[in-house]
Amino acid sequence: MLCQMCKKNKATVKIVKVAGLSKTELNVCNECANYLLGNTITTISFTQNSLNEILFNLLNTFSKYSTEDSNVTSESEVKCSNCGMTYAEFVKSGKLGCSNCYSVFRKYIKPLLNRLHGNYQHSGKIPDSLQLRLDIIKKIEKIKDELKEAVSREEYEKAAKLRDTIIDEEKKAGIRDNE
């Protein structure tokens, strides 16, 4: 197979872009891969500039050489209402402008995070002292959902028991003062 960029050399490197449920492949030769990745394939440590350059080159190349019908123009026109940063500026710099950018560019960032880290939500360790409290808070949320269902079905006795359970759990978690 020929390189999809230069169309001269044999394609020896496959670069895969996963966006949501769609997967796009780009087959390139070693020279084009080195161009895209900024000659950093064999480098052990990356600087922030080289990572930004790699991200910029990959995102731009996929939009240029992708065979799928992608909405590239609308991606680059997406703009944060808070700081004014566009998606194109994010791609170029590799940095977001403000905390609102995470919400605005979520559908574009999520696949990148999934590809880089295997997940888009932090799943690190939590100290044991906080884990217990977090488990209780999750339990309270489930009970509150049950409470809403019981009230909607007009099961008031069950709802009262659930309310009391919520109060007890909130006291355990230190959310509610002992009354």
**Separation between Cα atoms, residue 160 and residue 127, nearest integer Å:** 34
As given in the structure block, the two tokens for residue 19 are 């966006």
* The pLDDT of residue 65: 56
Answer whether 83's CB lies under 8 Å from 100's CB.
yes
- pLDDT classification of 148: cutoffs 50, 70, 90: very high
What are the Cα distances from residue 153, in Å, to 146, 148, 157, 158, 163? 11, 9, 11, 10, 15
Residues with Cβ within 8 Å of residue 56, at least 6 apart in sequence: 91, 92, 94
Answer whether 26's CB lies under 8 Å from 18's CB.
no
What are the Cα distances from residue 86, in Å, to 60, 128, 139? 15, 41, 40
* The pLDDT of residue 35: 76
Residues with Cβ within 8 Å of residue 52, at least 6 apart in sequence: 92, 93, 94, 95
Mean residue pLDDT across the chain:
77
Q: Is the pTM of this model over 0.75?
A: no
Q: What is the mean pLDDT of residues 85-92?
A: 83
Q: Is the pLDDT of residue 23 over 60?
A: yes
| Of 139 and 94, more confident | 139
For 1-69, CATH number out of 1.20.990, 1.10.10, 3.10.260, 3.30.60 equals 3.30.60
Phi, psi of 69 (to 5 degrees): -80, 100
* The pLDDT of residue 78: 81
pLDDT in tens, 33-82: 777 766 545 444 444 455 666 666 666 665 555 544 444 445 557 888 88
